[in-house]
Amino acid sequence: MISRDRHPRITTHTMTPSTQQRASRKRRTTSAADAGAPTEGLRAQGVRTRNAIVRVARKLLLEEGSLEFSLRAVAQRAGVSISNLQYYFPNRLAVVRAVMAPIMDAYLEDMQRSLASSASPREAIDALLGKALSDARDSQNVALWWHFVSMVSTDDECARLLDEWYDTLTSGIAQLIRAANPKCKPAESMQAASLLIAMADGLALQLGTPRYKRTEPRGLDARFRAAVNDIIFGS
């Protein structure tokens, strides 16, 4: 397993509010460091320039895909020099992180809220399923996600980032599964979490990819929820 040291770990105990706050601060600090120059240290003009670069990079990735995504291409589109761009983002991965951070962090933040929520584990899981179904139909975010995944085979840092994200997400969902079904052993809950994530990824590939959009069968949402219920609780 690839070494991981950039993202907070989700433990199997309930996090106290103070612990959650520290973890949240740590995640924000880490994400900013990984994604380039933190906005807290920039003046207003610098923040605007950085945000403009991220918007251009996002559009470039959507329009041209990962093969054409480079620092030079981003700089040209943004109308800045390479050296100016590298002040905010030292390498291509830093730009990719800044583009993908809102999408990836949204999942982890929703999961953290579910773990800390007073709602029942079943309600928390149901809320996450609703988000998965909604996100599977978000064609722009789905396209960005698959462009990012396509970089994994040629970029070790992208592979590491993806591995870290899936590891954190899988551990958190496994924790929710054990809370919902105490009979589920830790290894079984990790397997179930992996299956649920794979199902959500598959739906996104079929429903949300603009250039490959299949006709959605009727009753798909209900069937998806039923399959998840069967995986977690058994028939």
pLDDT higher than 60, residue 194:
yes
Of residues 150 and 189, which shows the higher confidence score?
Answer: 189
Q: Read off the pLDDT of residues 20-79 as tens digits, 9 standing for 90 and up.
A: 444 444 444 344 335 565 555 567 777 888 999 999 999 999 998 888 889 999 999 999
pLDDT score for 210: 60
Contact assessment for residue 115 and residue 15, using Cβ atoms and an 8 Å cutoff: yes
pLDDT digits (tens, 9 = 90+) for 100-132: 988 888 888 988 888 888 889 889 899 889 989
Q: What is the pLDDT of residue 66?
A: 85
pLDDT attached to residue 79: 93
Residue pair 159/152 in contact (Cβ under 8 Å)? The answer is: yes
Q: What is the pLDDT of residue 41?
A: 55
pTM of the model: 0.73
- Mean pLDDT of all residues in the chain? 81
* 96: pLDDT strictly greater than 50: yes
Span 164-184, average pLDDT: 94
Q: Over the stretch 147-160, which tens digit does the pLDDT of each residue have?
A: 899 888 888 888 99
pLDDT over 70 percentage in the chain: 79
167-193: average pLDDT? 95
What's the pLDDT at 87?
A: 92
**pLDDT for 228:** 94
Q: What is the mean pLDDT of residues 172-183?
A: 94
In order of start, what are the domains of the chain with their CATH numbers?
1-34+100-235 (1.10.357), 37-89 (1.10.10.60)
